[in-house]
A and B are shown apart, each in its own frame.
Chain A
């Protein structure tokens, strides 16, 4: 990060659940919030505020219990402090958990950073009967301490003032005699005891003699870290100093000597001494009234983590979660169905674009449909993100991990894998995009990666319509059983795959032990929940949305180009003209409407009829009459035809047999034109790049019972799984005026698959393939964001194809051998 001269860089450090993010939000007003899930902040979040003398730039460091080099978060926090050299560091401390929080503060003091302690959640501490003497605490630590209540904004002004004063003090101490300035306000120095101190003193001396080391690091801090056997510290010394080897040799000898005489590793003594000091300070500064009474958290846990009641509550939470997001009556799906008419209107509005032919198709079927595919998800994601934020903020998330860890660990996963798996659709259908996003809560990198890799195998909600489609064709009586079967098979497969991955390709990944703080329960705030919901939606829209639209365009090109030959176009045009001529002939010589529909009139009528038909859908009697009046006014003659000859003149209803005849003849003509269009579209798909690819794969995919149509649908579903059913719809004959319904597609597919000889075995094989088939593009983008590696993204793209293919072939061929499906 580049620092401007008038900017003051301030880092916000602190342990998980200390309310660090709340303080950060409170100072900057940034769109952020705190959760109870330990360590929600993995990325660096930056916010600013203006002070009298300049701009303050705040960086939110990951919440860490310590500053070793064992976990990624701790390394990130430590490197930032060492390399970016913030002017001031705020350490946010949970006042109700002072001992453990001081443990981190001591390490920050040791690093010699200009520290301000923000004693947060003083209200919670008070409620527990803790009375903390802030002045005494500040005196004993030798650093300023500001009491705050982050979520109420209390202490904000004082904190800002202290940040400024600390910054100023630092500048002054550099300008004047540093020794003198420092002596007035000396931060605490932990006494590591008679056994360690002499070694540390020698080591500090040796480090001070290496100017390149002292330039960046406090000698005391580095000495302690080396004695702790910190791998990063060793690396720094080795790389940055010629005397490095000398120092490291000294450390190795002293550590060995220490361990053999004291039967204990130095890092254990160091941690012990820090906690001993913390205990001393807490005893001096904290007085506790009403000791030993039960907190609310204890009482809630007694029920929520009860051996019998706990699992029931957990199952209820899961059930409600699904119900709220997936039930058509309320929550996510309801919101989506409410939003749908507006999206459809938007699509209709876009259809007015004055383009024709290919550019029109590109715009509508490529770009607009791509945007709609994203927009479609937003209502459900909105509800999901709200629920996740509530689970995080209340603290229940950690309890979920507590319940599920034993089960998931058996498969190389983690208790914290529960939520991502649930979100990705263990049972009724979920979304791997949201699931992958939520893996950020898994603290163990190895289990996290394993979880990310298997999430796409679960039942995303866009696969469900396909299952239902196939089930309604081939297993009409057992639809529910088929869905249940798919859920069980995919879950078992996902767990087995996770186990295999953790034993093989993930074997060398970093592991973090499951030692998890169970935070106190909190009531979530509306503001907090909404802020994070907004944040996550924006990540989805910005990072995922743009790419999806781009790929929707590419897929459109794939199923459109190179297009059918000129001769074939001419052929279809001739056929259409022929149909029009025969329509005119059939109207009969005396038909008064013949003139009206001649030439351009035919197109005008089609447009009129279309909008009339569309407008009439789902209207009640009264609204229908109003619509009739409107259309009669628009074009009285057209109306007579469109309304099958019935019309109203001078308040009386009349009939016109010519108009009726025209209508029936026109409808037949329209059907034949539509058949031609479907044939043309089918031919276009067949000769398109995607179609050719689909056909060239047939020699391979036939082993799994799949023909070229399914292949093309699979290829197009890459942009979004919804395309699977939609593409099948466009390949199988569909009336273009009709809204694509599962029922109508099922009927046509059944008719067509009947003479290609499809059996239920084909259906099972294909459904399994779809279940395992590569994740949609949105998920892949999320995998890229969450793993940060192209290699894993590529792996997630490819392994499901191979696995899915093998499973489908095994089932299909195995089934045939057993005599199913002929």
Chain B
């Protein structure tokens, strides 16, 4: 399962970042490493991008980039 499949209010843990290159590195740099707890907060009006809460701050992601984050729902 990947992060883009979650709905607002759902929580999960990151299993693995499968995105490579610049996107993968940026996701890691922002603290989305294996085991990190993530909560989906809300979608933008057109469902994309969406807002997550991670490590106590708020992060906006596009769905296409979130496909690179493998997760396990909590």
Interface residues of chain A, those whose CB is within 8 Å of chain B, are 65-66, 68, 70-71, 96-97, 99-100, 103, 264-265, 267-268, 271-272, 275-276, 297, 301, 305-308, 310-311, 398, 401-403, 405-407, 409, 415, 511-518
In the complex the two chains form, is A515's CB within 8 Å of B17's CB? no
Q: Is the CB of A271 within 8 A of B51?
A: no
CB of A402 within 8 A of CB of B60, answer yes
| Distance in Å: Cβ of B31 to nearest Cβ of chain A | 5
Across the interface, do A100 and B31 meet the contact criterion of CB distance under 8 Å? yes
Partner of A513, one of B16, B22, B45: B22
A305-B42, A307-B45, A398-B60 known; A272-B30 Cβ under 8 A: no
Q: Which 5 residue pairs are nearest across A and B when measured between Cβ atoms?
A: A271-B28, A66-B29, A406-B46, A518-B58, A272-B33
Summed over the interface, the residue pairs from A and B with CB atoms below 8 Å come to a total of 121
If A65-B30, A68-B29, A402-B49 touch, whether A514 touches B62 (CB-CB below 8 Å) is yes
Contact at B25–A307, with CB atoms within 8 Å?
no
Tell me which of B17, B36, B51 contacts A402 (CB under 8 A). B51
Q: Chain A residues with Cβ under 8 A from B62's Cβ?
A: 405, 409, 513-515
- Further pairs besides A405-B62, A514-B61, A516-B61: 19, Cβ < 8 Å: A65-B29, A65-B30, A66-B26, A96-B56, A99-B55, A271-B25, A272-B34, A275-B31, A301-B42, A308-B45, A398-B60, A402-B60, A403-B44, A405-B49, A512-B26, A514-B65, A515-B30, A516-B60, A518-B57
Q: In the docked arrangement, what's the CA distance between A265 and B20, Å?
A: 9
Closest beta carbon of chain B to A288's beta carbon, Å:
10
B30 touches A68 (CB 8 A): no
A307 engages B29 (CB within 8 Å): no
Residue B12 CB within 8 A of the other chain: no
B74 to chain A, nearest CB (A): 15
Contact A268 B22 (CB under 8 A): no
Q: Give the residues in chain A near B60, CB-CB below 8 Å.
A: 398, 401-402, 514-518
> Which of A100, A271, A301, A405 has the most chain B CB atoms closer than 10 A to its own CB?
A271
A265 to B17, CA, bound (A): 10
Q: Using Cβ atoms and an 8 Å threshold, which residues of chain B touch A406?
A: 44, 46-49
- CB B43 to nearest CB in A, in angstroms, measures 7
In the complex, chain A residues whose CB is within 8 Å of the CB of B42 = 301, 305-307
Q: Are A271 and B33 in contact (CB under 8 A)?
A: yes
Once bound together, how far apart are the Cα atoms of A70 and B24, in whole Å? Answer: 11
Q: Is B10 an interface residue (CB 8 A)?
A: no
- Complex interface: chain B residues within 8 A of A513 (CB): 22-23, 26, 62, 65
CA distance A264 to B35 in the complex (A): 14
Contact B59 A518 (CB under 8 A): yes
Q: Closest CB of chain B to A130's CB: distance in Å?
A: 9
Within 8 Å by CB of B57, from A311, A403, A511, A517, lies A517
* The residue from A96, A103, A310, A401 contacting B29, defined by CB atoms under 8 A apart: A103
The CA of A51 and the CA of B24, in the complex, are separated in Å by 44
Taking a contact as CB atoms under 8 Å apart, the answer to whether B25 and A515 are in contact is no
- Chain B residues within an 8 Å CB radius of A297: 58
Q: Give a binary string over B6-26; 1 marks a CB under 8 Å from any A CB, 0 the rest.
A: 000000000011001111111
Separation in Å of the A315 CB from the closest CB of chain B?
A: 11
Q: A99-B56, A402-B60 are in contact. Are A268 and B28 (CB under 8 A)?
A: yes
Min CB–CB distance A172 → chain B (angstroms): 35
Residue of A301, A513, A518 contacting most chain B CB atoms (<10 Å) = A513
A514 to B47, CA, bound (A): 15
Q: Is the CB of A103 within 8 A of B31?
A: yes
Query: Interface of chain A, helix or strand or loop or mixed?
Result: helix
Contact of B22 among A97, A307, A511, A516 (CB under 8 A): A511
In the complex the two chains form, what is the Cα distance from A103 to B27 in whole Å? 13
Query: Chain A residues near B49 (CB, 8 Å)?
Result: 402, 405-406, 415, 514, 516
Shortest Cβ distance from residue A600 to the other chain B in the assembled complex, whole angstroms: 75
- With a cutoff of 8 Å between Cβ atoms, the chain A residues found around residue B44 in the complex are 305, 310, 402-403, 405-406
Most chain A CB within 10 A, of B24, B34, B55, B60, is at B60
Judging by beta carbons under 8 Å apart, are A99 and B31 in contact?
A: yes
Contacts of B55 in A (CB 8 A): 97, 99-100
CB distance B51 to A515 under 8 Å? no
A405–B48 Cα gap in the complex (Å)?
A: 8
Flag if B43 contacts A307 (CB, 8 Å).
Answer: yes
A310 and B16 alpha carbons, distance in the complex (Å): 33
User: In the complex, are the beta carbons of B17 and A268 less than 8 A apart?
Assistant: yes
Residue of B nearest to A409 (CB): B62
Q: Which residues of A contact B33 (CB under 8 A)?
A: 268, 271-272, 275-276
A406 to B28, CA, bound (A): 23
> Is A70's CB under 8 angstroms from B22's CB?
yes
By the criterion CB–CB under 8 Å, are A70 and B59 in contact? no
Q: Which of A265, A275, A516 contacts B36 (CB 8 A)?
A: A275
What is the chain A residue whose CB lies nearest that of B21?
A70
Q: Point out the residues of chain B lying under 8 angstroms from A66, CB to CB.
A: 25-26, 29
* Complex alpha-carbon distance, A470 and B62, angstroms: 44
Are B45 and A403 in contact, CB atoms less than 8 angstroms apart? yes
A517 with B59: in contact, given A268-B33, A403-B45, A406-B48 (CB under 8 Å)? Answer: yes
A372–B26 Cα distance when bound, in Å, is 47
10 contacts between A and B (CB under 8 A): A97-B56, A100-B55, A100-B57, A267-B24, A268-B16, A271-B25, A301-B51, A405-B48, A409-B62, A517-B59
Residue of B with least CB distance to A74: B29
| Most A C-beta atoms less than 10 A away, residue of B36, B47, B58 | B58
A305 to B49, CA, bound (A): 12
A732 CB to closest chain B CB, in angstroms? 49
* Docked complex Cα distance between A310 and B43 (Å): 11
Q: Compute how far the CA of A398 lies from the CA of B51 in the bound complex, rounded to whole angstroms.
A: 12
Nearest CB on B from A122, distance (A): 15
CA distance A514 to B34 in the complex (A): 21
**Nearest neighbor of A97 in chain B, beta-carbon distance:** B57
Expressed in whole angstroms, the minimum distance between the Cβ of A592 and any Cβ of chain B is 82
Report how far A688 CA is from B12 CA in the complex, Å: 73
Cβ–Cβ < 8 Å partners of A409 in chain B? 62
Chain B residues with CB under 8 Å of A401's CB are 60
A241 vs B62: C-alpha distance when bound (angstroms): 41
**Could you tell me the distance in whole angstroms from the C-beta of B63 to the nearest C-beta in chain A?**
9
Contact of A305 with B22 in the complex, beta carbons under 8 Å: no
A301 and B22 form a contact (CB under 8 A): no
Complex CA distance for A405 and B58, rounded to whole angstroms: 17
- What's the minimum C-beta distance from B48 to chain A, rounded to whole angstroms? 5
Nearest Cβ in chain B — how far from A655, in angstroms?
Answer: 75
* B16 vs chain A, min Cβ distance (A): 7
**Chain A residues near B22 (CB-CB < 8 A):** 70-71, 511-513
Q: Across the interface, do B45 and A515 meet the contact criterion of CB distance under 8 Å?
A: no
Decide if A301 touches B58 in the complex (CB within 8 Å): yes
Q: Give the shortest distance, in Å, between A364 (CB) and chain B (any CB).
A: 53
Q: Which of A65, A68, A275, A305 contacts B51 (CB 8 A)?
A: A305
Q: How far is the CA of A579 from the CA of B52 in the complex (A)?
A: 82
Across-interface contacts of A275 in B (CB, < 8 A):
31, 33, 36
Q: Which residue in chain B gives the minimum CB-CB distance to A96?
A: B56
A525 to chain B, nearest CB (A): 22
Indicate the member of A68, A276, A402 with the most B CB atoms within 10 Å. Answer: A402
Contacts of B24 in A (CB 8 A): 267-268
Contact status of A515 and B56, CB under 8 A, knowing A275-B33, A305-B42, A402-B51:
no
**C-alpha spacing A275/B44, complex, angstroms:** 28
Q: Please give, as numbers and ranges, the residues of chain B lying within 8 Å of A308 by CB-CB distance.
A: 45
CA distance A513 to B21 in the complex (A): 10
Residue of A nearest to B54 (CB): A100
The distance from the CB of B39 to the nearest CB of chain A, in whole angstroms, is 11
User: Do residues A310 and B65 form an inter-chain contact, with CB atoms below 8 A?
Assistant: no
Q: Are B45 and A518 in contact (CB under 8 A)?
A: no
Q: What is the CB-to-nearest-CB distance from A515 to chain B, in angstroms, rounded to a whole number? A: 5
Within the assembled complex, what's the spacing in Å between the Cα atoms of A813 and B57?
Answer: 58
